[in-house]
Chain A
C-alpha cells in the first residue's frame, strides 16, 4: 500500500543543513496499524508528512497503491491526498471560523459531491464520534477531547484508505486519549490502514507494528 525507498530529507536553516531523514525504507501494508516512535526531533513527524504527501523528500521514491509518485502535479497530489489519506494532528487544526459540521465536511468539498450528500456523510461521521449534538457549535466552544473527535470525524468522512495521525493524544488527558485511541482502533478494525506517530508506549502497543526512528534513520 505504502512503499518508501531510500527517502532522505534535509532542512536548511541559514548556513546549517540538518539531515532529518536518512535513507529510509519502509513498507506499510493495507489494514496495518503502524506506530512510529522515537525521541523528539528524530524525524518521525517528517516521515509521516512525507508519507502523507504534505512534504517532499530530497531524494528517494514514494509508491502509493503501486503507483510511483514521480513528477506529480500539484492538482494530482491534491487529488491523491483527498482520496487516499485522512489526517489527524496533535493540535487538531480545526478551522475556528467554521462550525463543527462544516469542518467535518471539508474533505468532501474537494470532491464532486452534491451538498446534501456531503451534509449526510458529515452528520454520519459526527454520529460515529458521538458529537451530533455539537455540530452547530464552533470548535472553540468544545473541549480538547471533543475537538480531536471532530478531527477524527473529519479525517474519516471521506472514507480514506490510510489514516495518518501525528501524536493524536498528545494534547489530551489520559481519559480523553483513551477515547481517541479506541476510536482509532475501531477504524483499523473496520479496515482502515493507520500510521500513527506517538511518544506513548502504551498506545503504540495497540498497533500491529512499531517503527522506531533515531537521528533520521529507522532502527528495528
Chain B
C-alpha cells in the first residue's frame, strides 16, 4: 500500500507541476534560510578551528565606567592596565591574553600603499588561539618581551603584498615602523582572530598604552573548563570592587563582565551593560521564536495550498471512497503525498544551503568567512519539514477525507 501511495504521490507531483514547484520552493527556501542563518550563528557563537577553545573561554570586550551623580558614563574597550592589574591576576584563569581590536594601518611598499587591519597581542594570545600556521612561526614570549618588530600575515594579505613570493623573511614598513614577516597563517573570520596582520603588543610606538585605563584592548581568559566560569566571574567582581580610576572625581563605578561569545552578543543587543545577567537566555528565546515564526508562515501557506489542492481532487476522493477507501486510508494517502514533497523539499533545501554558503564564502562579501552546514541543524530542519508535512497535510486531509462520498463525487467543497 505504501509503495502504491508513493507511486501515486510521485505521479500527482509530476502531473501538478506548478503546485509541486510552489510547495518545494516554499519548503526548500525556508530551510535554506534557516540553515544559512544557523551556520553563520554557529560560526559566531560556537566556532571551531582557531577559536575552538571557546567553550572554555571567557572574554571581556568592553568596560563601562560611570558616575551617576555627575552624569558621566563611558563605554569603551579596555585599557592595557586594566588587563594587567585586574584580569591577569585572577586565580582561576589558566591564561589571560591581551589583544587590541583590529586597527586600520597603512603598509608602505616600494610603489604602493595598502590599508590593512592590524592587531597587537601579547604572547598568551598565540597560546589561546589555535591559528593554522602555513609557513614560518607566530611570535614567542621572547619576541613580545623584547619588543621585536616581527609580523604575522594571513594568507590573503601575504598574497596581496608579495604575490607568489614567500612572505616569511620579507621586510615591511607598517605605519612607519619596520617589521620582519615571521609567519603566515590561514585566513579566518572569528571574533578575536579576525585581522590581516599581527604584531607583538610591545611594538606600539609608545609605551603609554601600559598605563591606560581605557584603550583598544580586549581580554581573553582561558580556563581549565567551563565549570570555572562562575569562579572567574566572582573573582573579577571582587577584584574590581576597589577599582582605581585615574580621576576618581570624574568616575566612581565600573562594570566589567567576563562573558562567553553568546553573552557578549546578548549584552550588546539587549544593552544589559549594568547587570550580571547578559540576557543570553532571552536572546536565544527571541532567536528561536523568530525561527519558529519564520517557519510558521510557510506552514500556514502550505495548509492553505493543500486544502485547495485536495478539494480540487474531491472527485478522486469520492471515487476512492466509493470503491472502499476508509477515511483513515485517505488521510494516510494525503499525508504520504505531503511527506514525500516535504522530504524532497528538505533535501533540496540542503543542497541550496550548501551552494549558498559556498557562494557567500567565495564572493568575499564577508571576508575570510568559513562556514559549514551543521548537520544537527539539517537533521532538525528535516524533522521540522516532516512536521511541516504532517501539519500542513493533516488538517486538509482530515477535512477532505470526511467528505461524504456522494458530495465528494459531485465536487462539493464542504
Contacts and interface: CB of A to CB of B under 8 A. Distances in A.
A58 interface: no
Nearest to A83: B324
Contact of B322 (A56, A74, A87): A87
B326 A74 contact: yes
Nearest to B4: A109
Contact of A74 (B3, B327, B406, B409): B327
Interface residues of A, number: 30
A117 interface: no
Interface stretch (A26-34, A90-98, A202-210): A90-98
A54 B326 contact: no
B130 to A, nearest CB: 58
Nearest to A87: B322
A79 B15 CA distance: 30
Most buried by A among B3, B315, B319, B321: B319
Contact of B15 (A81, A94, A97): A97
Contacts of B319: 93-95, 106
A82 interface: yes
The SS class assigned to the B binding surface is helix
Contacts of B406: 49, 54-55
Contacts of B315: 93
Nearest to B408: A54
Nearest to A94: B319
Most buried by A among B1, B319, B322: B322
Contacts of B326: 74-75, 78-79, 110
Given A87-B322, A110-B323, A110-B325, A97 B11 contact: yes
B324 A79 contact: yes
B8 interface: yes
B18 to A, nearest CB: 14
B170 interface: no
B180 interface: no
Contacts of B3: 115
Contacts of A168: none
Contacts of A49: 405-406
Contacts of A89: 409
Given A82-B323, A87-B323, A97-B16, 14 more contacts: A49-B406, A54-B322, A54-B409, A74-B326, A74-B328, A75-B328, A93-B409, A95-B319, A97-B15, A98-B11, A109-B1, A109-B4, A110-B326, A115-B4
Interface of B: 1, 3-4, 8, 11-12, 15-16, 315-316, 318-329, 404-406, 409
